[in-house]
Structure 1
């Protein structure tokens, strides 16, 4: 009866553990999580001025008790969100690839940008159907909370959070996943502290954008500090 000695370096379990550790280190080195959060925060804050000074189009007005009820299209804001978010995803992809190239690594961020732009297209189509083919809501009372939540989730700010879930999956990043879920909660609830209720059509979105943009900005700072702390060890 004979047996062959297996070198320590050839231990399958050790090789598997080393391979997993290497993959984890590569994923950590590929992460530039602060960048998309910072860019998207800037886009969110910029939308406040567009809503304030942009054109508001009213159409399909119907008479109701005490006035009229109209459908509203924020023309300038729609164009702004589309242009700004597409450019934001381009900037994010370029930034990730430059950092990855400097570290001698590849980048997996392109699917995130593709999904983000695809969500923009999908939600724009949903908005067109909802605006032009569905009747005005009953003026006797507000729509059900589920309807409002779905509308917020399929808005531009909602598309940001849903795309961040994809980035969290690509990076295998639990902290980013929790952050994205928290951001979506802020958008869907929404958390605006009751501000802007009677501020008119040009300012009513400002509180929500301040809060959601602030969440993105704080998240960017937090992830940047965590990355710096990890690299300094």
Structure 2
């Protein structure tokens, strides 16, 4: 009896479908910003990975601002849901990590713009460079925060979605392509995984609620 009650409480506390849908919208909305929001590159330093290092164009500002707004929306959702159900989810660590990663990404962008020569010398192939680029990337910050949310909600479906998302992120990589839309397939794939995961988790939560009722 106690085990069934604990399981029901945990099920009611889960709401990860909403963050997944929010982040899917953030990913999709980035397409025109990334395509048309790049600034001119400094010919003395060039660009790193197709991104100019001598300024902070709109494309660089988009991600920190969009992610912070996303976490504001997620906070509102969980607080409203907690007030309605009378059940709170320990969401504070997830929000703290997500916001910290977004700020770290913003600081990295600012440092890159202010020290192009230093960054160009350090940037190169290697496990540390790959790890650092992944952690401070928009896709990486979303994935790492979702891993913590899966732990908080003890949700195996969310963990599966997050792992699939991270695999698509790591598998896309950076390939030489002169097209200005070269980034679009990986962005759409990652956003699609988040969207599909959010829809599936939302339907699963609704079906479980009906069966329990």
Q: Same fold (TM over 0.5)?
A: yes
Of the candidates 160, 170, 173, which is equivalent to residue 142 of structure 2? 160
- Please state if 1:50 is matched with 2:33: yes
Structure 1 residue 127 displacement after superposition: 4.5
Residue number in structure 1 paired with 2:13: 30
Decide whether the 8 Å contact of 1:191 with 1:211 is kept in 2: no
Structure 1 residue 115 displacement after superposition: 0.8
Residue number in structure 2 paired with 1:59: 42
C-alpha offsets along residues 145-194 of structure 1, whole Å, 9 cap, x if unaligned?
A: 633454234201110000001111111112212221221121122279x7
Structure 1 residue 49 displacement after superposition: 0.9
Structure 1 residue 112 displacement after superposition: 1.2
Query: TM-score, structure 1 length as denominator?
Result: 0.76
C-alpha offsets along residues 112-134 of structure 1, whole Å, 9 cap, x if unaligned?
A: 11210101122333445556263
Residue number in structure 2 paired with 1:4: none
216 and 191 in structure 1: CA distance in 2 versus 1, 3 angstrom threshold:
farther
Structure (1 or 2) with the greater strand fraction: 1
Decide whether the 8 Å contact of 1:30 with 1:105 is kept in 2: yes
List aligned pairs for 1:74-223, cutoff 5 A.
75-129=57-111, 132=115, 134-136=118-120, 143-144=124-125, 146=127, 147-148=129-130, 150-190=132-172, 197-200=177-180, 203-223=181-201
Structure 1 range deviating more: 215-224 or 51-60 = 51-60
Looking at CA atoms only, which structure, 1 or 2, has the larger radius of gyration?
1
Structure (1 or 2) with the greater helix fraction: 2
Query: TM-score, structure 2 length as denominator?
Result: 0.83
Structure number with the bigger relative contact order (C-alpha 8 A, sep ≥ 6) is 2
Structure 1 range deviating more: 94-103 or 158-167 = 94-103
Residue number in structure 1 paired with 2:206: 228
C-alpha offsets along residues 78-136 of structure 1, whole Å, 9 cap, x if unaligned?
A: 21111111111111111122122211212322321121010112233344555626353
- Note the aligned Cα RMSD (angstroms): 2.6
Q: Tell me, what secondary structure is at the counterpart of 1:136?
A: helix
106 and 188 in structure 1: CA distance in 2 versus 1, 3 angstrom threshold:
same
154 and 226 in structure 1: CA distance in 2 versus 1, 3 angstrom threshold:
same
1:60 and 1:170 mapped to 2: Cα distance? 47
Residue number in structure 2 paired with 1:65: none
1:172 and 1:198 mapped to 2: Cα distance? 43
